Structure 1
Amino acid sequence: MASTPPSGTARRFARVVAVTAAATTVLAMTASAHGAPGGPDKKDVKAQVDQLYAEAEQASEKSNAAEEAAKRLQAEAGTLQQEVARGQDTLNRMRLDLATVAGAEYRAGGMDPTVQLMLSSDPAGYLAKARTLAQVGEQRAATLHEVQEQQRRLDQRRAEATGKLAELETVRTSLAEAKQQVQQRLKSAQALLSSLTATERAQLQAQDDREAHERAARAAERVDLGTQPPSSDRAAAALAAALSKLGSPYVYGSTGPGAFDCSGLMYWSWRQAGVTLPRTSQAQAFGGQRVSLSEARPGDLVIFFHDMHHVGMYAGGGTVIHAPYPGARVRYESVAAMPVAAVVRP
C-alpha cells in the first residue's frame, strides 16, 4: 500500500522549526565579543542574549505545539488501529459463517428438488423447508454484500491509520528539531554570558533584577488603580492563580506549578479556575471570544507578536502578567511593551 503524504499540519510543523539566520551567526558574535579590545561590550552582549532568549521562546512554543500534535495523532492512530483490529475480527467471522453454509449446501446438494419432493415422506414439510431455504439464500446474498462493505471499510481504516502514523513521524521529527533549536539558543546565550567576567555578569543580573522590580512596582500600582473587574468568576480565579506565581522562573515546556513558559502559565492559571485552555499561545489565540484591547478585562489573554508566539494575562490598568523568556521570572509588564496581536476571553 502506498504511504499517505503528510498532512498540511505536519508540513507546517516541519517549516516552523527551520533555524533562523540569527542563530547561525551566534558563534561569530561570540568570537567577535571575545576578540574585541578590552573585552566584550556588556550592552552588546545583553542585546544578543535577549534576542537569543526571545528566539528560544519562539522555538519553545513550536515545540509545545508539535508535542500536542504528536499526542493527538498518537491517540487518533491508536483508535484507528483498534478499529482495524475489530473490523478484521468481524470480517473473519462473516467469512467463516459463509464458508460453513457453503460447505453444508455442497454436502447436501446434487439431488433435483422435484425428485426430493417425490421421495419425501413429508411433502408439506419439504415445501416449508424449501421456502425457508429460499429466504436463507436471500439472506446469504445480503451477507455477501455486507462482507464486501466490511472489507471496504477495513481498507479505508487501514489507509487512515497508515496516514496518521506517517504524519506522527513527521511531527515527531519536528518536535526533536524544535527542542534542539531551544537548546541551541540557550547554549549560545550562555556562551555569550560566559564571555563576560564574573563581575560583569553579576552587574547584568543586578540590572535585570532592578528593572524587573521597577516594572513590577509600577505595574502593581496600575493594577491597584484599575477599576474594571474580571469578566467572570472564573476569570477572577484564573487571575488570582497567575498572580500567586509572580517570581516563578521561566522554564520552556513547563506548565507549573513551580515553573512556567508563557502559555504554560496561562494553561495552569485557567486550569485552577476549572477551564482547560489549548496548550500553546497560537492555539490559545483561538481558544475563546476575541475582544478589542480597549475592551480587555482582567483574566483575558493577550497574544503578542504577529506569529502569536507569546501570551500574557491582562491584569488591569494596561498591565499583563506573563512568563517573559528563559532566564526571567513571572512578572508584570506594560501591555504596550510588545505588539499585541489579539485579546481573547476564554
Structure 2
Amino acid sequence: MGSHRRLAPSGFDRGISAALCALSAAAALGAAVPAAAAPSDHTRAEVERLHEEAERATEAYNKADERADTLRRQVGDAQDRIARQQEHVNTMREAIGFLAGAQYRSGGLDPSLALLLSEDPDDYLDKAATLDRISAHQADELDELQRALRTLSQEREEATGKLAELERSRRTVARHKRSVERKLAQARRLLNSLTEADRAAYDRASRASRAGRDEVPGPPAGDAAAVAPNGRAGAAVAAVRSALGKPYMWGASGPHGFDCSGLMQWSYARAGIGLPRTSQAQQHAGRQVPLSEALPGDLVIYRSDASHVGMYVGGGQVIHAPYPGAPVRSDPVGMMPIAGVTRV
C-alpha cells in the first residue's frame, strides 16, 4: 500500500470519503445480516464491511496522492521562475554597478577637464548622454524585476505552505492507511476461517448480478457484439482486457497491479486519454448516459458515494479490479448498486 499526502484539514475524511475504489465484492452482499444468521453469514458480512472501508480509504489515498503531485509541481514551477528571475536580477545589478562606477569615476573629473582630455570631445558627449540614458533604463528594469521577485517570493511562500500542509496530510493518510491494512488483514483472517464452501459462496455473491435492485434498466440483452462508440474507447477496452488476471494492488495504477480507478486510468491512458485518479472524479470525466445505452468503454460507477468503478465491455459485463486477493476480472454489470454510467 504506500503512503501519500494531503493533511486532513478539518473535514478531510468527510471530503475525501466519496472518492474511493477497490473491492467490487464489498457491496455485493448488501443487506444487513438477520439476527438468526449462521456464524458464517456474520463472518461474510464483516468481511464485506472491512472491504468497503478499505475501498474508501484507497480512494482517499489516491486523492491525497494526486493533490500532492499537483502541489509539488506548483512549488517546483514557482522555484524555477524565481531562480530565472534572480539570475536576471543579478545580471542587471552587475551591469548597473559597472555603469554607476564608470559614472562615478567620470564624475570625479571636472567636466571641462574631461572634455579637454578627451581625444574626441563630441564622442565623449555622446557616450556620456548614452550612459545617462542606459542608467535610468536599467534602474527602471531593476525596479520592475524586484517587484516581480517580491511577487514570486510570495508565491513560493504560499506554495511552500501548501507543501507543508500536504506533508502533514500525508502523515495523516499514512496513519489511516495502516489502520486499513489492519482491517484488510482482519478480513483475510476471517475469510480464512470460513470453510471452503463458505468462501466459494462469498465469491459467488461478489460476482452475482443484483437483478431488480438497480433503479435503471440494464444493458439490452444480447449486446455482446456491441462496439465501442469511438476508436479511443475501443483502445481502452483492449487495454482493460489485457489486464485481466493482474492482481489487485492498493493505490496502484499499473502496469503490474491495479486498484479499480487505477485500472480505468491506465486503460484510457493506453488510448491516449488522461482520466482523473479517483472513481469520484472519473464519474464526471465525460457525458452521463443511461445504463440501458451503455457501450463498451463506458465507465460504470458504483455506490452512492462513487467509491467503485469498472469498464463496461458488452454482454452485460464489466471488467474491474475487485478487492485485495481478487485479480482483475469480468463480472456482471449489476454486481452492486450503480450510481451512473460515464462515456469518456
Q: TM-score normalised by the shorter chain: which range applies?
A: 0.7 to 0.9
Matched positions, count: 312
Return 310-319 or 114-123, whichever deviates more: 114-123
Aligned-pair distance for 1:65? Answer: 1.8
Aligned-pair distance for 1:53? Answer: 0.7
Alpha-carbon deviations, 1:205-242, whole Å to 9, x = none?
Answer: 22234456776xxxxx9875445421112322322333
Alpha-carbon deviations, 1:26-72, whole Å to 9, x = none?
Answer: xxxxxxxxxxxxxx811001101111111111111111222222223
* Compared CA separation, residues 243 and 148, structure 1 to 2 (3 A): closer
Tell me the distance in 2 between the aligned counterparts of 1:275 and 1:140.
48
User: What secondary structure does 2:252 align onto?
Assistant: coil
Aligned-pair distance for 1:183? Answer: 0.5
User: What secondary structure does 1:275 align onto?
Assistant: coil
Aligned-pair distance for 1:124? Answer: 3.2
- The answer to whether structure 1 residue 300 and structure 2 residue 294 are counterparts is no
Alpha-carbon deviations, 1:184-212, whole Å to 9, x = none?
Answer: 22023234346x3xxx3322222234456
8 Å contact from structure 2 (residues 62, 278) kept in 1? yes
8 Å contact from structure 2 (residues 6, 64) kept in 1? no
Aligned-pair distance for 1:254? Answer: 2.8
Alpha-carbon deviations, 1:296-343, whole Å to 9, x = none?
Answer: 211100112232211011233544222222233434444344333332
Q: Please, what TM-score do these two structures have when normalized by structure 1?
A: 0.75
Decide which of 201, 204, 227 is 1:207's aligned counterpart.
Answer: 201
Q: Any unmatched runs of 5+ in structure 1?
A: 1-5, 19-39, 216-220
- The answer to whether structure 1 residue 83 and structure 2 residue 108 are counterparts is no
Decide which of 276, 286, 293 is 1:288's aligned counterpart.
Answer: 286
* Compared CA separation, residues 295 and 116, structure 1 to 2 (3 A): same
8 Å contact from structure 1 (residues 60, 178) kept in 2? no
Tell me the distance in 2 between the aligned counterparts of 1:69 and 1:262.
19
Return 294-303 or 327-336, whichever deviates more: 327-336
Tell me the distance in 1 between the aligned counterparts of 2:257 and 2:141.
60
Tell me the distance in 1 between the aligned counterparts of 2:222 and 2:268.
22
Aligned-pair distance for 1:281? Answer: 1.1
Decide which of 227, 230, 237 is 1:229's aligned counterpart.
Answer: 227
* Compared CA separation, residues 145 and 272, structure 1 to 2 (3 A): closer
Decide which of 154, 178, 181 is 2:179's aligned counterpart.
Answer: 181
Alpha-carbon deviations, 1:126-163, whole Å to 9, x = none?
Answer: 43334323323432332342343343244234324423
User: What secondary structure does 1:183 align onto?
Assistant: helix
User: What secondary structure does 2:130 align onto?
Assistant: helix
8 Å contact from structure 1 (residues 88, 154) kept in 2? no
Corresponding letter in the other structure for 2:257: A
8 Å contact from structure 1 (residues 228, 316) kept in 2? yes
Decide which of 95, 101, 105 is 2:103's aligned counterpart.
Answer: 105
Where does residue 25 of structure 2 map in the other structure? none
User: What secondary structure does 1:82 align onto?
Assistant: helix
Relative to its length, the structure with more helix (as a share) is: 1
Identity of aligned residues (%): 46
Tell me the distance in 1 between the aligned counterparts of 2:226 and 2:279.
24
User: What secondary structure does 1:314 align onto?
Assistant: strand
Where does residue 31 of structure 1 map in the other structure? none
8 Å contact from structure 1 (residues 91, 150) kept in 2? no
User: What secondary structure does 1:298 align onto?
Assistant: coil
Q: Any unmatched runs of 5+ in structure 2?
A: 18-37, 210-218
Corresponding letter in the other structure for 1:85: A
Decide which of 269, 272, 284 is 1:271's aligned counterpart.
Answer: 269
Tell me the distance in 1 between the aligned counterparts of 2:132 and 2:93.
20
Aligned-pair distance for 1:115? Answer: 6.1
Where does residue 30 of structure 2 map in the other structure? none
Decide which of 127, 132, 140 is 1:134's aligned counterpart.
Answer: 132
Where does residue 172 of structure 1 map in the other structure? 170
* Compared CA separation, residues 309 and 330, structure 1 to 2 (3 A): same
What is the root-mean-square deviation in Å for CA atoms of aligned residues?
3.5
Tell me the distance in 2 between the aligned counterparts of 1:302 and 1:113.
85
* Compared CA separation, residues 149 and 53, structure 1 to 2 (3 A): same
8 Å contact from structure 1 (residues 320, 335) kept in 2? yes
8 Å contact from structure 2 (residues 7, 169) kept in 1? no
